[in-house]
Amino acid sequence: MLLSIIIFVVFLIILILVHELGHFLIAKLNGVQVKEFAFGFPPTIYSFTRKGTKYSFNLIPLGGYVSLLGEEEDVKTPGSYYSLKVWQKISIVVTGVMMNFLLAIIILTIGFMIGMTPLVSDPATLGGQKTSQVMVAQVVLDSPAAKIGIESGNILNGFSSPSDLQQFTKENAGKLVNLDIQKNGSQEIKPVQLGTNDAPLGVAVVSITKVKQSFPRALVTATVEVGRSIKTVVFVLGGMIKSVFTTGSAGEAGAGVVGPIGIFNFTSEALKIGWIYIFQLLAILSINLGIINILPFPALDGGKILFLALEGIFRKKVVRQEIENLIHTIGFVLLIILLLAITFRDILRFW
């Protein structure tokens, strides 16, 4: 539990800082004065100022922000965001999302160089060295497996397919055997007294295939995986939005949406399988964070890009800055309400 909490907190810090770093770097590159670089939302726990920028670590870790001179007011002085051209403003806003996608590509590249299960692609279609493992999907109550602490998500080493495990347990039914189990990021060998029924061990298993590639093939595969993942998530989101307008409900896809509690639960489950799946989860979260932020909704990067696009099309600011600020504030409040609702549902589901 403690390790899962630590990993979860580190995930939040990495995802938020990487995203905000994108805004920060491109703003600096365009000569914009950064007033504040913040992790989380106030109240502030700790802050310091360096070269005119305040760096803040805040109490509520549900996001972060980069405050720029002239972002919320009409300030035309040098170093002001307001004085930039539209394309420069868009580059600052969109880079946070691009940094999330880049982080996912880097993580997956390293993962494929070590050996990792693809996110969406069929392993058979990918080049490189392939290794199959058996993962526990379900454990029967009071079975031999349950008695020695085997849990769903654990890897049973030494078997390349479910049929291999099935043959082994049937041949050794009623005997005391040793199993090499990978759980919580570590390996251990445990003796187990197999039963004599049709399921001597008492588990349902699935086969997973890891793909190991050298660089730069791993980079290409990682980039393709991120692209396909983005396409999949966008397709699911599109289905959810369509379902909301046609049936008034987000449907089955909406049931899969989770908040911080759900992410913590996924972190705990990934830890049972191994560290490589922890990093794979980080890549997945980074992809999803990028996609969510690019949605054209007020307070999100996509919402800001929408206003900037209108400004570029009509060659003038269509909505007064005060009105736009109010729209983004309302959007932020709605997002917080949605997050609280999802969190409440997660508590009922996972706890």
131: which residues sit within 8 A by CB, 6+ positions away? 115, 209, 210, 212
Asked if residue 91 and residue 162 are part of one domain, the reply reads no
Buried b (16+ CB within 10 A) or exposed e, 75-91: beeebbbbbbeeebbbb
Q: What is the mean pLDDT of the chain?
A: 87
Domain of residue 150 covers 129-211
Report the number of distinct structural domains present in the chain. Answer: 3
The arithmetic mean of pLDDT across residues 2-7, rounded, is 83
pLDDT per residue as tens digits for the range 135-188: 888 888 888 888 888 888 888 888 888 899 999 989 888 889 898 988 876 788
Cis previous bond, 216, omega within 30: yes
pLDDT at residue 272, rounded to an integer: 75
Residues 197-210, mean pLDDT to the nearest whole number: 87
> In sequence order, what DSSP letters do the residues of 130-182 get, joined into one string?
EEEEEEEEEE-TTSHHHHTT--TT-EEET-SSHHHHHHHHHHTTTSEEEEEEE
- 300 and 269 housed in the same domain: yes
Check pLDDT > 80 for residue 14: yes
Return d(Cα 74, Cα 83) in angstroms, integer. Answer: 8
Q: Are residues 194 and 297 in the same domain?
A: no
Give the pLDDT band of residue 128 (cuts 50, 70, 90): confident
- Beta-carbon contacts of 278 under 8 Å, excluding residues fewer than 6 positions away, are 7, 185, 267, 270, 271
Query: Are 26 and 98 found together in one domain?
Result: yes
Please name the amino acid found at residue 310. L
Residue 43, preceding bond cis, omega within 30 degrees? yes
Other CB atoms within 10 A of residue 246 CB: 9
Q: Is the pLDDT of residue 249 over 70?
A: no
Please report how many Cα atoms fall inside a 13 Å half-sphere around the Cα of residue 50, on the Cβ side. 5
Is the pLDDT score of 253 beyond 60? no
The pair of three-digit structure tokens given for residue 94, joined into one six-digit string: 């969109």
Mean pLDDT of 279-296: 92
Identify the helix (H) or strand (E) that includes residue 55.
strand 53-68
Give the CA count within 13 Å in the CB-facing half-sphere of 44. 10
Q: How far apart are CA 141 and CA 262, in angstroms?
A: 24
What percent of the chain has a predicted confidence (pLDDT) above 90? 39
Position 112 in a domain? yes
DSSP state of 318: S
Residue 122 is assigned to a structural domain of this protein: no
Report the percent of the chain where pLDDT is more than 70: 96
Q: Which of 3-7, 55-59, 104-108 has the lowest mean pLDDT?
A: 3-7
268 near 152, Cβ under 8 Å? Answer: no
Claim to verify: residue 142 and residue 182 sit in the same structural domain: yes
pLDDT of 124 reads 79
Out of 227, 255, 283, a domain closes at 255
Q: Is 345 part of any domain? A: yes
Residue 9 backbone dihedrals phi, psi, to 5 degrees:
-65, -45
Whether residues 11 and 109 fall in one domain: yes
Residue 121 falls inside a structural domain: no
* Whole-number pLDDT of residue 199: 83
What is the value of pTM for the model shown? Answer: 0.85
Least confident of 23-37, 69-83, 235-249, 320-334: 235-249
Residue 256 is predicted with a pLDDT of 63
With left for phi above 0 and alpha for psi between -120 and 50, is residue 175 left, alpha or beta?
Answer: beta
The pLDDT-based confidence of 32 (bands split at 50, 70, 90) is: very high
169 lies in a domain?
yes
Same domain, 59 and 75: yes
pLDDT bracket for residue 315 (50, 70, 90)? confident
Q: What is the CATH number of the domain that holds 172?
A: 2.30.42.10
Q: Which of 201, 224, 255 is the last residue of a domain?
A: 255
Q: Based on the domain organization, do 161 and 100 belong to the same domain?
A: no
Cα–Cα nearest to 350, from 4, 39, 66 = 4
In a domain? residue 123 = no
Q: How confident is the model at residue 6 (pLDDT cuts 50, 70, 90)?
A: confident
On whether both 50 and 82 belong to a single domain, the answer is yes
Assess whether 70 and 147 both reside in one domain.
Answer: no
**Which residue among 255, 288, 323 closes a domain?**
255
Considering the domain architecture, whether residues 95 and 9 belong to the same structural domain is answered as: yes
Measured distance CA(180)–CA(155) in Å, rounded: 8
Q: Quick one: 339 and 328 in the same domain? A: yes
Is residue 320, in this structure, part of any structural domain at all? yes
The pLDDT confidence band at residue 251, using thresholds 50, 70 and 90, is low
251 against 314, higher pLDDT: 314
Residue 163 lies in a domain: yes
